[in-house]
Every structure is written in structure tokens, then in C-alpha cells.
Amino acid sequence: ASSIRMQGLRKQFGRDSVALAGVDLDIDAGEFFTLLGPSGCGKTTLLRILAGLEEADDGQLKIGGKDVIDVPPHRRSVNTVFQSYALFPHLSVRDNLAFGLRMRGEPAAERNRKVAEVAEFIKLGSLVERRVDQLSGGQKQRIALARALVCEPDVLLLDEPLSALDAGLRGQLQVELQRLQKRLGVTFVFVTHDQDEAMVMSDRIAVLDSGIIQQVGTPSEIYEHPANAFVARFMGHDNLFAITASDSNWVDTGLGRLQLDPAEQRDTPDGWLLIRPETLELGGDVPADYNRLEGTVEERLYRGSRIEYRLTVNDHPLTAVAGNLGQRIHDVGDRVTIG
Ligand code: ADP
Ligand code: MG
């Protein structure tokens, strides 16, 4: 496994399209690292620069401590798995897996040994003689992965490899892929636009927007302490309110005046207030020392294990989530006290 160090990577397509606006990022050897961001934020461009398939306009790139900016793709110990599989459909699984080794000129005996080993590893041992176009999407993605791993790269790049799969299979491959990475110890740079996928799989995540890194951290750091409003929204936090007035221990956001926990450290008077839907209490028995708001239930969404309420408070939307058992159920149109 190799570490990766990026410094000031920039890439522009045409005059107005800045894909990467100066990316600094350090990825540790053996890390499962995820680039997370909306479509068009520059994820694929960054991966292609790591692979050597795209040239950066500016910046430095080291892989395993070695400057690689001028090293061509096939001389980097880096392999890529694409969303589209990029397999040869008319060839057998075995020939697909052996392709890279053949290109490298490995002798047949060595080639066969490695192919058998990786096929076993990825649970495709019984399929090696099949043609790829006879296999399911999940099987094809496993083969694409095995084909990238058989060459024993120090770094594996994965560009949204699971997004074409249905939810069940996707969840299963998320777990398998994460286990595989830990067993092999290869550095993974994984790209996704799905924050749940990123949180489940990664050691660390970099959130990208418009070619700029917004935050780097562990899944819990990013979910629990988003660095800015973009990251908070992207991680699925709905209840985000701009602070319009504040003092050391209270804030106003238009919802109403809210007292802050005195233990809460604040270094700036303005900013954003984020309210976690699961911490809100609805109904009559709001504890006396809680902040109280009055709101109206606009929508009630049944989500199985919990109920989601879409409320309005002083014309601002607010989401609350309550457990589904032994709770009073509120109806659309009800006025409720919110703690
Ligand atoms: P992502 O993978 O996050 O969806 P990309 O890296 O593919 O984003 O694209 C980032 C930006 O760069 C987008 O605005 C995209 O339109 C632009 N872009 C990417 N590749 C090219 C290209 N070959 N030519 C022109 N513009 C490109
Ligand atoms: Mg992309």
C-alpha cells in the first residue's frame, strides 16, 4: 500500500469550467478514503489525475513518496474500477482477469496462479469459464474489482463502482468491499455521491463542492461536526438555520429565541444553528428546562421504526423524528409544543 499526497492540484476545462480549484489532500497508506460530493464537483477528474489519465494544470502529486506527476499511467502502481465495469463482454471471466497480467508479459503459469487465486478470493471460482455477457450486474462488478486487484496495485481507485446496482446488492457489496480492503491493506480511493455509502465504508471522507474540498474527516466527525452549511446539507441535515442575532448563550434564527447549552463552545457570534430531528420532543410533556417552540404539523411520514413530522414554526420548516412505539401520534394540522 502507498500513501498519496496532493498539493495544489488544479484542473480547468475551457475558460469557465474549473473542475478542481486547488486540492490539497493527504491519504494514508492502507486507508479506505472516500471522495464525496454532488455530480460535477470534480471527483472523477481528481481520480483520473491520480491514475495519470488526466494531466493537472498545476500542482504536485506523490504516490508512495514518489513524485508521479510526469509518470505515465501504466508505470504507476495504481488501478481503477469504473462504474461501467469496462470489461470485455465476449471474453471469459478468466481471460478478463488475465488481461492486465498478459499485457505486463507475465508467464502463463504465474498468470494462471494469480487469476485462480483472485477468483477464489472474490468468490467467483466457479464462474471462470463463463463469458462475461452471461453474468449479472453484481457478478460483473466483482469481476471488474478482481481484475483491478490481480495486478496487485498499491492504490486502487474506485469511481462510483456500486451506483449501477440495486439497493440490496449494493449494501452487500459495500460490506464485502470494505472487508476486502481491510484484508488486503491496499489504499482505496473510493468515489461516491451517496453520503450513506460514504459513511458506512470509509475510514475518512473528503467532501467536495465545485472543485474545492469542504471538509476532511472520519464519518462521525463529518456527520456530527459539519464544517459549513454545504457539508451539513449534503450529509442530510434538514434543520439548518442562519443565526440572525445572538448573545453568549442565546441565538435567534427566526424560529424563536433559543437558549444554548452553556457547555457549548462558540467562537463566533454568527453562523448556523443545526437542530437534530431526533432530539426534538413533541407534545405536552416537554421538560421545563427545554427551549419551547409552538408549531403546526404539516406532514406526517410513516417510516416504520419511526415517524417523521414536517412542521412549520413561524413560517420556517422544521423536521422532527419520533420513535414509533408508545408515543402519542400527532395529526396533520395539530398545533404542538416542540421541546
Ligand atoms: P464528478 O465526477 O464529481 O461528477 P467531474 O470530475 O466529472 O465531476 O467533472 C467536474 C467538472 O468538470 C464538471 O463541470 C464537468 O462538466 C467538467 N468536465 C469534466 N471532464 C471534462 C472534459 N473532458 N471536458 C470538459 N469538461 C469536463
Ligand atoms: Mg464522476
Nearest atom (ligand 1) to Cα of 47: 6
Instruction: Tell me the best of 44, 82, 193 to mutate to test the pocket of ligand 1, counting ligand atoms within 8 Å of each CB and taking the most.
Output: 44
| Mean pLDDT, rounded, of the chain | 91
Cell numbers placing 229 = 452549511
Q: What is the pLDDT of residue 220?
A: 97
Residue nearest to atom 14 of ligand 1 (CA): 40
One DSSP character per residue, 113-178 reads HHHHHHHHHTT-GGGTTSBGGGS-HHHHHHHHHHHHHTT--SEEEEESTTTTS-HHHHHHHHHHHH
β-bridge partners, 293: 338
Q: How do beta strands 240-242 and 272-274 pair?
A: antiparallel
The rounded Å distance from CA 331 to ligand 2 centre is 43
- pLDDT cut 90: percent of the chain above it: 58
- The model's confidence at residue 268, banded by pLDDT at 50, 70 and 90, is low
Cα separation, 118 vs 143, in Å, equals 9
Q: What percent of the chain has pLDDT over 70?
A: 98
For residues 179 and 202, what is the distance between their CA atoms, to the nearest angstrom?
11
Tell me the pLDDT tens digit for each residue of 173-226.
899 899 989 988 999 999 999 999 999 999 999 999 999 999 999 999 999 999
Angle at 202 between CA 197 and CA 208, to 5 degrees: 75
Q: Which of 8, 10, 16, 7 is nearest to 57 (CA)?
A: 10
Q: What is the mean pLDDT of residues 32-60?
A: 97
| Full DSSP string of 222-256 | HHHS-SSHHHHHHTT---EEE--EE-SSEEE-SS-
Q: Whose CA is nearest to atom 15 of ligand 1?
A: 40
Q: Where are the alpha helices (DSSP H) in 52-107?
A: 93-103
- 322's grid cell: 419520533
Tell how far the Cα of 213 is from the centroid of ligand 1, in angstroms: 16
DSSP for residue 334: -
Protein residue whose Cα sits closest to atom 7 of ligand 1: 44
**In angstroms, what is the span from residue 20 Cα to ligand 1's centroid?**
9
Does residue 16's CB lie within 6 angstroms of at least one atom of ligand 1? Answer: no
192 Cβ below 6 A of ligand 1: no
Instruction: State the chain's maximal CA–CA distance in angstroms.
Output: 77
Please report the pLDDT score of residue 56 as a whole number. 96
Is 0.95 exceeded by the ipTM?
yes
How many whole angstroms separate alpha carbon 84 and alpha carbon 139?
A: 13
What are the C-alpha distances in Å from 321 to residues 74, 133, 275, 295, 296? 51, 45, 11, 14, 14
Strands 272-274 and 257-259: unpaired
Q: Phi then psi for 180, rounded to 5 degrees?
A: -60, -45
Label residue 39 by pLDDT band (50, 70, 90).
very high
Hey, whose CA ends up nearest to atom 26 of ligand 1?
13
Tell me which H or E stretch contains 13: strand 4-13
Rounded to a whole number of angstroms, the CA Rg of the chain reads 25
